[in-house]
């Protein structure tokens, strides 16, 4: 996290990038639930660039099209999660999803921000100079630049703006990904002393933990019961092994805070084998019948990933098993079991006794095992 501060403000405008929505198209993960619940209890409000909204809907259409092709090959119906009905055309799926996401955002009083009125010559100059978020080409990063210009415009009009994006490549200093790139820092400085501060986060989980969760009522009695395995609904070791190992089977780690080698492509947790320690338990009230729980655990887990056939399969003491040496022309499918530190958030309905949403928020394999 980085704060570029001109002056301390009260009202905070939260801007989410499309990669935050793409990770949870339904907007009903534990993290989104905490965010939406906390907005009404804080001076924070959501402002979503129209560019972000449109790209999210397009990404949903792409995913729908890919899944539809897969379902047709299997001879199955593709049931759309919003209506519970079969939809066959991408344009229909996008239309239904647009109504869904716009309604969901409206329910939390989010504002859709139009593309800022920018002199196109300024964008051309920025692209030619390869100033971030533009990349090493004239056009790469155009969309991200419009999102950033929206943030800059909002900083001129508000006390504080929080940008939450998973895109470290185009927004971050590559030597320290907790910081904005120097080009973006200069943009904020150029706004002058009257502009608001810019708060930067690389994932929604970190933003919610620092800014939203503290505004939710803390339930210390539940916390003590859960820590002592005395809560009537569950124990954390049990749900780690029996719930997270199955209901979150294949939970993707690519967008998480993770220390896995970059050559491990599309990593996904397949099972939690054992639990050694649980700590940092926090319990908050979301609604009269729903609570929000976060914790960190030391576990032994197995995870799958793809690895290039030309890559070495030796990484320190990490034991790698090749499950399919000929997955396709370029990749092998592999699995590994290792001790790891994981962080998890989930919501629990105290009336029904059911886990209503859950998410892995970080995953760190023991670095001595990886040979770092």
Name the band, by pLDDT with cuts 50, 70 and 90, for residue 82. confident
Q: Residue 350 to residues 127, 215, 232, 308: CA-CA distances in angstroms?
A: 53, 20, 10, 46
**Residues 6+ away with beta carbon under 8 Å from 143:** 51, 55
Mean pLDDT of 136-160: 81
Residues facing 111 on adjacent strands:
47
Asked whether the beta carbons of 35 and 212 are under 8 A apart, the reply is: yes
Q: Where are the domains of the chain?
A: 2-212, 217-370
Name the pTM for this structure.
0.80
CA dist 26 and 19 (Å) reads 13
How do residues 259-316 score in pLDDT, each as one tens digit? Answer: 777 788 878 888 888 999 999 999 999 999 999 999 999 999 888 888 888 876 666 6
Helices 182-190 and 142-157, axial angle in degrees (round to 10): 30
Q: What secondary structure, in 3-state letters, does the chain show?
A: CEEECCCCCCCEEEEECHHHHHCCCCCCCHHHHHHHHHHCCCCEEEEEEHHHHHHHHHHHHHHHHHHHHHHHHHCCCCECCCCCCECCCHHHHHHHHHHHHHHHHHHCCCEEECCCCCCHHHHHHHHHCCCCCCCCCCCCCHHHHHHHHHHHHHHHHCCEEEEECCCHHHHEECCEEEEECHHHHHHHHHCCCCCCEEEEECCHHHHHHHHHHHHCCECHHHHHHHHCCCCCCCCHHHHHHHCHHHHCCCEECCCCEECCCCCCEEEEEEEEEEEEEEEEEEEEEEECCEEEEEEEEEEEEEEEEEEECCCCCCECCEEEEEEECCCCCCEEEEEEEEEEEEEEEEEEECCCCEEEEEEEEEEEECHHHHCC
R_g of the chain computed on alpha carbons: 22
Q: Reply yes or no on whether the pLDDT at 2 is more than 80.
A: no
On the CB side of 342, CA atoms within 13 Å amount to 28
pLDDT at 223: 97
Most confident residue range from 157-166, 214-223, 360-369: 214-223
Pick the CATH number of 2-212 from 3.30.70.1520, 3.40.50.920, 3.30.960.10, 3.40.50.1010: 3.40.50.1010
Most confident residue range from 79-83, 127-131, 181-185, 304-308: 304-308
Q: How far is CA 230 from the centre of its chain?
A: 31
> Which is more confident, 57 or 12?
57
Q: Reply yes or no on whether the pLDDT at 146 is more than 80.
A: yes
Task: Work out the number of other CB atoms within 10 angstroms of the CB of residue 188.
Answer: 20
């Amino acid at each position: 996290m980085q704060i570029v501060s001109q002056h301390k403000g009260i009202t905070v405008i939260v801007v989410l990038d499309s990669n935050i929505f793409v990770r949870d198209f339904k907007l009903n993960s534990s993290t989104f639930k905490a965010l939406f619940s906390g907005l009404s209890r804080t001076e924070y409000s959501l402002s979503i660039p129209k560019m972000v909204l449109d790209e999210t809907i397009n990404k949903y259409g792409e995913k729908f099209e890919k899944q539809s092709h897969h379902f047709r090959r299997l001879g199955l119906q593709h049931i759309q999660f919003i209506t519970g009905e079969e939809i066959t055309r991408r344009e229909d799926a996008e239309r239904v999803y647009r109504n869904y996401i716009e309604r969901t955002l409206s329910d939390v009083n989010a504002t859709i921000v139009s593309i800022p009125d920018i002199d196109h010559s300024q964008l051309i100059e920025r692209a030619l100079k390869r100033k971030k978020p533009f990349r090493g080409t004239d056009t790469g990063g155009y969309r991200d630049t419009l999102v950033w210009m929206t943030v800059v415009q909002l900083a001129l009009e508000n006390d504080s703006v929080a940008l939450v994006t998973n895109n470290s490549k185009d927004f971050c200093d590559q030597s320290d990904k907790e910081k904005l790139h120097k080009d973006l820092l200069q943009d904020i400085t150029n706004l002058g002393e009257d502009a608001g501060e810019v708060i930067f986060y690389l994932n929604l989980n970190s933003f919610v933990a620092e800014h939203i969760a503290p505004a939710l009522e803390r339930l210390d009695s539940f916390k003590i019961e859960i820590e002592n395995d005395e809560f009537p609904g569950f124990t954390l070791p049990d749900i780690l092994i029996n719930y997270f190992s199955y209901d979150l089977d294949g939970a993707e780690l690519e967008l998480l805070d993770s220390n896995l080698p970059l050559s491990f492509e599309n990593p996904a947790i397949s099972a939690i084998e054992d639990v050694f320690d649980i700590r940092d338990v926090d319990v908050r009230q979301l609604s009269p019948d729903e609570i929000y729980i976060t914790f960190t655990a030391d576990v032994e887990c197995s995870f799958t990933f793809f690895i290039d056939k030309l890559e070495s399969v030796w990484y320190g003491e990490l034991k790698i098993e090749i499950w399919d040496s000929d997955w396709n022309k370029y990749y092998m499918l592999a699995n590994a079991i290792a001790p790891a530190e994981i962080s998890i958030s989930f919501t629990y309905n105290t009336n029904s006794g059911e886990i209503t949403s859950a998410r892995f928020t970080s995953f760190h394999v023991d670095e001595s095992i990886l040979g770092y």
